[in-house]
Structure 1
Amino acid sequence: MALEQTIDELAKRAKLAAADLMALSTKTKNDVLTTVADLLARQREHLKVENDKDLAAGVEKGLSPAMLDRLRLSDAVIDSMITGLLELCALPDPIGKIENFVKRPNGLQVGRMRVPLGVIAMIYESRPNVTVDAAALCVKTGNAVILRGGSEAIHSNLALATLLQQALTQHNIDRSAVQVIPVTDRLAITHLLTLEEDIDLVIPRGGEGLIRFVAANSRIPVLKHYKGVCHLYIDKDADLDKAIPLVLNSKIHRPGVCNALEGLLIHSDIAETFLPRVVKELTANGVELRGCAQSVRIAAGIQAAAEEDWGTEFLDLILCVKVVQGFSEAKQYIQTYGSRHTESIVTENYSTAQRFIAEIDASAVMVNASTRFNDGGQLGLGAEIGISTTKLHAYGPMGLEELTTRKFVVFGQGQVRE
């Protein structure tokens, strides 16, 4: 009961703080972010000391080297957070912007104004830099935020929360606008997800297990993506010299992220020519290939795929390969095994490219580009709080505008409805 009361009070404080945040000027919000950047630079060594506690506990728990690397607050990571904060200050503030202004026949002027969502709960794993990134995006958009990072990063996240709240206090803003849940008990998440009266949106960010747990237990709307099963379709009219580096970049640049390539589809008309070339390059870079019977026959170095391989998010140097008879079969495969994250086509045929854009359902569809570009920074948002593969109310990377909604604004001169 004591834990539930703690979470209740934390959520109510966030709701009160959100009401105050709505009135902040862009300058004040940017001043807060600049102060956070300054505190990160000045408190660097203290942050490392707290982070070392998490790293030591991680080693003791047997976390993998990759997980420990994600957990580490190195100088490069701290510098990246500082740069990100300053870049966010330079981005336009969407709050208060009135769009689609029209004059109605009765003389009423009607528009739609960008406003904050209110209170956002962010539940995430491992990377402590997400604490600063998410808090900064929420402050810039006038949202209060409740942050619940992974238990493996508790000391780092609480240290970062102290800096964030210090910056808010320096500018006479309610420190409850940014709060980190101070306990690692999973019951805290379970109870938080029931507080629909105080929290407006939940954004989980992490593995599929975490996201499914949040979606199954939340009474609050959830923006989510379960996994990133991304495909690259090499059309019969593709420039094959262009296709090779696109496949390599999509798969090996960072294989453990959600916009990495998991399935390679190749038109049968060019499979005999293209497959041996691309297999040679992929295997030279340590990629294990699992393919359909036709691909196994065409190119040495591909092992027969098991049924469970199709549609798997490997997050590793493993790639499924399938030869398809054309666009229609590629589309059907993507509909069956894709995750509505990122889909790309390599083609020089304008009509085929336009069909791909119109008919493939994903948060980002690309023509002659690496799947790795589905990222808020790369797509011009400046920053992102996550990627949504649901459609209400955001689809794809979530930047500043995706952390807002719109309300109607009506100006009259005494009109009454007849």
Structure 2
Amino acid sequence: MSARPLRLSTTEPGFEAAFGARLHWSAETDAQVEERVTEILADVARRGDEAVLAYTARFDALQATGMQALELKASELQAAFEALPAVQREALEQAAARVRRYHEAQKRASGESWSWREPDGTLLGQKVTPLDRVGIYVPGGKAAYPSSVLMNAIPAQVAGVGEIIMVVPTPRGERNPLVLAAAHVAGVTRAFCIGGAQAIAALAYGTATVPRVDKITGPGNAYVASAKRRVFGQVGIDMIAGPSEILVLADGSTPPDWVAMDLFSQAEHDELAQSILLCPDAGYIDRVQAEIDRLLPQMPRAAIIASSLNGRGALIHTRSMEEACDISNRIAPEHLEIASADPHRWEPLLRHAGAIFLGAYTSESLGDYCAGPNHVLPTSSTARFSSPLGVYDFQKRSSLIEVSEEGAQTLGRIASVLAHGEGLQAHARAAEMRLKP
């Protein structure tokens, strides 16, 4: 088994075509998936708990006599936490504390209400309020992700959300104790052992047992992504996530085995994950490839890593670090590592990325688990216009306007002119009635 990411150079005549082909990924869902998801959503909207139980038995091989058997009690979450080995308990608590501290700072910076009064007494401002109830989807099945629990639930809790409803598939009834313990640490209000499109439908429409939420966050498979897309409007969603991505900008100063392993860290997620290296030193790229060859046989998920690197990976020789930064901005990656002796020299040139990791010691994996910033990040170039999950995703903003009698004399005349210009006479008259003779 070997992993040979595509070798490219920006000086080659065919670079643009090869580069574009390697980046291409379509967010379109298979037509059969879309059709099946449509059926599931409609069925859950119609039959509620009955449909959720049927799909859970069918897709997760989990037979339950009623929804109460699929709900995880707070005492069960606490028991899972207390039963963990001490080293795991401490790691969860330390990670949660760092994530909470970061999001509390985020709330102070961007999540507070504000207002001002103009000289005539008019008040203008913004009122920030938390959502009442949110649903977080935690993937299950192939792997368990306690870190996803922390990253979705903690910013919601910091924002002041009243209820946090967690859904997590437990195929054949297998409950991951770390996921349950993370729910306890993160302050999840209620948790259900359901997954797939049926879980999204239950959260979006509500059932006799599962409360309807205002927003759904968290990643999932193609069925979950399709369901989230279709229920948007009934509820809010965070994003439609694509495959995991890492882009490493390297100046040749970081040990090449570190960079090879960082490329592996995303490639091991799945075959569609993308790992790219940009570097102006061709010899260094050769050394990274040699480390890929050496380290791959040691990896338990070697087959997935090899498939990802062979199918979507790239090692790109650039003319300079400045050109590497320009290409990075075109890619707008989910995770961007600056593996440089002077990362702060290059960071100002980088405009588009979900998260930027500065310096050789800042591996992307630290951001996934415990650095503090959120690991739910925009993928597939959407970092051009969207941001990491944060406290602001669990809040909404209402404008505050209090016009004084004096202010109404100025604003009323402006509004009257513009309203008449738009042909909306009632708008104009409403403003004019407040004008003094």
TM-score band, normalised by the shorter chain? 0.5 to 0.7
Cα pair distance change 1:140/1:125, threshold 3 Å: same
Q: Does 1:140 align with 2:150?
A: no
Measured after TM superposition, the shift of residue 395 of structure 1 is 0.6
From 216, 237, 252, give the equivalent of 1:222.
237
Tell me how many residue pairs correspond in the alignment.
318
Partner of 2:314: 320
Paired with 1:230 and 1:210, the residues of 2 have a C-alpha distance of 24
Paired with 2:111 and 2:323, the residues of 1 have a C-alpha distance of 44
Q: Within 5 Å, which residues of 2 pair with 1:259-338?
A: 262-267=275-280, 270-271=281-282, 273-286=283-296, 312=312, 320-326=314-320, 330=324, 334=328, 338=331
Paired with 1:309 and 1:249, the residues of 2 have a C-alpha distance of 12
Q: 1:263 is aligned with what amino acid?
A: I
In 2, are the aligned partners of 1:154 and 1:184 still within 8 Å (CA)? no
Paired with 2:293 and 2:217, the residues of 1 have a C-alpha distance of 37
Partner of 2:301: none
Q: Does 1:107 align with 2:121?
A: yes
Measured after TM superposition, the shift of residue 153 of structure 1 is 8.2
Q: 1:150 is aligned with what amino acid?
A: P
Q: Does 1:179 align with 2:190?
A: yes
Measured after TM superposition, the shift of residue 205 of structure 1 is 1.7
Q: Does 1:189 align with 2:200?
A: yes
Q: CA RMSD in A?
A: 5.1
The superposition leaves residues 35-80 of structure 1 with CA deviations (integer Å, 9 ceiling, x where unpaired) of x7xx6896248x86xxxxxxxxxxxxxxxxxxxxxxxx66544444
Stretch moving more, 153-162 or 105-114: 153-162
Gaps of 5+ in 1: 11-35, 49-72, 169-176, 289-304, 313-318
Percent sequence identity over aligned pairs = 12
Measured after TM superposition, the shift of residue 151 of structure 1 is 3.0
Cα pair distance change 1:218/1:393, threshold 3 Å: farther
Partner of 1:341: 334
Pick 1 or 2: higher relative contact order, CA cutoff 8 A, min separation 6.
2
Paired with 2:353 and 2:79, the residues of 1 have a C-alpha distance of 42
- SS in structure 1 opposite 2:367? coil
Q: Within 5 Å, which residues of 2 pair with 1:1-400?
A: 4=46, 6=48, 43-44=79-80, 76-84=87-95, 92=104, 94=107, 98=112, 101-126=115-140, 127=144, 129=146, 133=150, 134-143=152-161, 144-152=163-171, 156=175, 178-183=189-194, 186-190=197-201, 192-193=203-204, 198-207=212-221, 209-210=222-223, 212-219=225-232, 220-224=235-239, 225-234=241-250, 238=251, 240-242=252-254, 244=256, 247-248=259-260, 250-252=262-264, 256=268, 262-267=275-280, 270-271=281-282, 273-286=283-296, 312=312, 320-326=314-320, 330=324, 334=328, 338=331, 340-346=333-339, 353=346, 356-358=349-351, 361-366=352-357, 368-369=359-360, 370=362, 372=364, 375=367, 380-381=372-373, 384=374, 386-389=376-379, 390=382, 395-396=387-388, 398-400=389-391
Q: 1:230 is aligned with what amino acid?
A: I
The structure whose Rg is larger is 2
Q: 2:295 is aligned with what amino acid?
A: N
Gaps of 5+ in 2: 1-42, 53-73, 299-305, 410-437
Paired with 1:332 and 1:340, the residues of 2 have a C-alpha distance of 12
The superposition leaves residues 61-115 of structure 1 with CA deviations (integer Å, 9 ceiling, x where unpaired) of xxxxxxxxxxxx6654444444455667767484896455433343334333432
